[in-house]
Amino acid sequence: MEMAERTAMAEAPPASGVYSAERLRLDFPALAQRVGGAPLVYLDNAATTQKPDVVIDAVARAYRDGIANVNRGAHTLAARASAAYESARYRAQRLIGAERAEEVIFTSGCTAAINLAAYAWGDEQVGAGDEIIATALEHHSNLLPWQRLCERRGARLQVIPLSREGEIDLERLSATLSARTRLVAVTHVSNVTGGESPLGEISALCQRVGACLLVDGAQAVARLPVDVRALECDFYAFSGHKAYGPSGVGVLYARRERLRQMAPFLTGGGMVEQVQAERSTYASAPARFEAGTPNLEGAIGLDRALEYLAAIGLDTVRAHDRALTRHARAALERVPGVRLVGAPARPIGVVSFVFGDVHAHDVSTILDQAGVAVRAGHHCASLALQHFGVEATLRASFAVYNTPADVDALVTALGKVREVFG
């Protein structure tokens, strides 16, 4: 199919009430290729998603039409750049239901967003004897920053263990929370089990003791509707590249009350009011936390990606992902030698499994030869894998363009693994 035809299809949102993953996959040029002589079946979306033509074209257009730094000049290109950058901020605000645009801070990704919270808020608000709580489900990006914060500030990190199914133990969390708890860090959707965390209950527990709540939304924002005000969280972080946008751009939502408690972390151009030889004053949020030249082209691509998701409808995406996840879990359970890892009550978008005694990397290599791309490893979530007693798993994860036929291709390819290893 010609590029112009694909782009025209991508520009038109799906018909109201009609969802077709087969039609949407035409918007993603990377999916047209063959790997190992077979059509590519891309099931590594929890790591990063492929990009639709509209995102690719938006980034290319930014370069073709002339690029400029944001909030730095009065000429036409600078004004255009600033408007495009702020458009992306408003788009992200609407996506997550933030009350104010200034509560949306652009970062280089979810990792940078969580680290920003740990330094800019944590170093100001956490002291000796205080406690931070995380869970054993957390990605390293939502664990290591809190370890380092506790080391710097003389605080204590407590990690809540999981239930047998791999769910967050709410009773244990409730018992661990205390007046010394300053923050609870939790994933919205696990990148290992695909389990959706009960954020409503967790938020209520945090409020009971006056603790802040930070949510890692990396696996959630492209799968289900998010409303940070309804969740009553203090921080929410996500990456653009897992939501059909470019790499190198992400968001930290910080509630206005928390912004007032945060000190500048990175300092430099664009985040100051006045500079004197011995002392400077800093701009208000979000500029206060966006020092230096921003990733304008990343923000432009993210704006278009979030618009693309909104045109589909995140309620629709959630229904698609849940149905496909149920289909995958049922299909994989019927494959001899396969054992699913985790049994969450509300799985969405992610299925992890092991294949007998065969190492996950070996299985992944054979699957790749059949054109099926999955993730193999510990998924930067070592504590979760330790809980399940495994060193590595295979992980299939889904996107708007995946279909039951993709799952069936995975199952067929696993048959080839069985032929090789018996």
Which are the catalytic amino acids? 380
Exposed, middle or buried: residue 418 (CB in 10 Å: 0-12, 13-18, 19+)?
middle
Q: Count of alpha carbons within 13 Å of 202, Cβ hemisphere only?
A: 25
82 closest CA partner among 301, 271, 306, 300: 300
Q: Which two tokens stand for residue 259?
A: 């912004």
Report the Cα 386 to chain-centroid distance in Å.
22
| CB 146, CB 158: distance < 8 Å | no
CA 228 → CA 20, 237, 253, 281, distances in Å?
29, 11, 8, 30
Q: Order across the sheet with 375-377: list the strands.
A: 338-340, 350-355, 393-397, 375-377
d(CA 185, CA 201): 14
Q: How far apart are CA 138 and CA 183, in angstroms?
A: 14
Ramachandran sector of residue 279 (left: φ over 0; alpha: ψ -120 to 50; beta: rest): beta
- Give the residues across from 253 on adjacent strands: 104, 236
Closest-CA residue to 347 (of 169, 197, 228, 183): 197
User: Cα 170 to chain center, whole Å?
Assistant: 23
Dist CA 374 CA 407 (whole Å) = 11
Instruction: Phi first, then psi: give them for residue 102, nearest 5 degrees.
Output: -70, -10
**CA neighbor of 181 nearest in space, from 201, 217, 162, 205:** 205
Rounded Cα–Cα distance for residues 356 and 375 (Å): 17
Q: Which two tokens stand for residue 63?
A: 């370069």
Measured CA to CA, the distance from residue 270 to residue 288 in angstroms comes to: 8
C-beta neighbour count of 190 within 10 angstroms:
33
